[in-house]
Amino acid sequence: MNNIINCSKKLTVYPNIDNFRMHTHDYYEIYCFLSGNAKYFVEGNIYKLRPGDIFFIKKSEAHSLHITSPAPYERAVIQFTSGIALSERTKEVLSSFDSLALGKGNLFPFSMFKDKQWSYYIDRIISCDSFDTKSLYISVLIDEMYECLSDILTIKTEQDEFSDIITYLNNHLTEPLTLDSICSRFYISKSQLNRKFKHMTGSTIWEYIIAKRLILAKGMLKNGEPPTMVYTKCGFNDYTSFFRAYKTKFSVAPKNDYTKSAK
């Protein structure tokens, strides 16, 4: 994904939770909740959604939606890479967002910006045809959101002890991880770990680990490291399982991303 902006406004009349499972990606996302009944999960943090709430999702952050009742669900989504024509200030702002811990600085609640023009910027980004105009409005929106970051970081989220497990997993992705070792470290049973992890993230623990390892691998490939070295560095036991998982997630073989980087 190079120099790309994807944006849309979608309405799902009969939302199914199976269609909104945990996922990660290697680009930025601005998500605006418009209507429905749902909770949003970001790296173990749980947010009850209110119309107009905006989320900023950093690269590699795991997030998912949990439908709490079958009301029609509407949202606006803007996805973009850092390679688009952003201002120098915005590039610095994105670096500041990237430096935050995973699951921090995500929610920008409507109640905190009702006097601002963020909804207008989102509508313009989605409706205008010009790529450069979209980039301009994305720059303005990101810069203004950053001005509120200090207040955003004070927002309390629904968490439990599993936020520590998520932090541990992200700090040890390249090392051997097993259910036994994780349960032993945190003094928890496998059944409790699986049940609670599914509740907090919307995925199984292995889906989470594999997704994070693949994002890590893609970054290494784009930095010029060959696939035959990357898979071992990212915690995969063999190249075949790495290849299949990578192609399933990104729809290309690992060598494709490495080859583009090398060129």
pLDDT digit string, tens, across residues 194-213: 888 887 777 788 888 999 99
CATH at 229: 1.10.10.60
State mean pLDDT over 154-165: 72
Q: Which residue, of 111, 129, 152, is where some domain finishes?
A: 152
Residue of higher predicted confidence among 38 and 18: 38
The answer to whether residue 157 sits within a structural domain is no
Considering the domain architecture, whether residues 24 and 77 belong to the same structural domain is answered as yes
Same domain (yes/no): 85, 141: yes
Residues 132 and 195 in one domain: no
Question: What's the chain's average pLDDT?
Answer: 88
Q: In the 8-state DSSP scheme, what is residue 44?
A: T
- Give the range among 10-19, 150-159, 180-189 with minimum mean pLDDT: 150-159
Task: Answer whether residue 210 is part of any domain.
Answer: yes
pLDDT value for 260: 58
> How many whole angstroms separate alpha carbon 219 and alpha carbon 216?
5
Confidence of residue 230 (pLDDT cuts 50, 70, 90): very high
| 57 shares its domain with 76 | yes
- Please tell me the chain's helix, strand, coil percentages from 3-state DSSP, rounded to the nearest 5: 45, 15, 35
Mean pLDDT of 145-156: 87
Looking at the structure, tell me whether residues 182 and 237 fall in a common domain.
yes
Tens-place pLDDT, residues 174-183 = 998 989 999 9
Domain ranges, residue 225: 162-262
Q: Is 218 a member of any domain?
A: yes
Name the β-bridge partners of 199: none
Q: pLDDT by residue (tens digit) across 91-118?
A: 899 999 999 988 888 999 988 877 778 8
The amino acid at 38:
A
Question: Is there a single domain that holds both residue 196 and residue 145?
Answer: no
Among 94, 129, 152, the domain-final residue is 152
Residue 263: pLDDT band with limits 50, 70, 90: very low
Tell me whether residue 167 is in a domain.
yes
- C-alpha 236/C-alpha 231 separation (Å) is 5
Q: Are 134 and 172 contained in the same domain?
A: no
Q: Is the dihedral of CA 99, 103, 105, 106 positive or negative?
A: positive
- pLDDT tens for 36-90 read 999 998 988 888 899 999 999 998 899 989 888 889 999 999 999 988 878 888 9
Residues 171 and 201 in one domain: yes
What is the pLDDT at residue 2? 64
3-class DSSP state for residue 255? helix
Q: How far is CA 63 from the centre of its chain?
A: 5
- Boundary of a domain, candidates 103, 132, 152: 152
Contact 102, 94 (CB under 8 A): no
**Are 216 and 104 members of one domain?**
no
Q: Which of 78, 85, 64 is nearest to 20 (CA)?
A: 64
User: How many domains are there within the chain?
Assistant: 2
Q: Find the CATH number of the domain harbouring 13.
A: 2.60.120.280
Strands (E), the chain: 5-12, 28-35, 38-42, 45-48, 54-57, 63-67, 73-80, 107-108
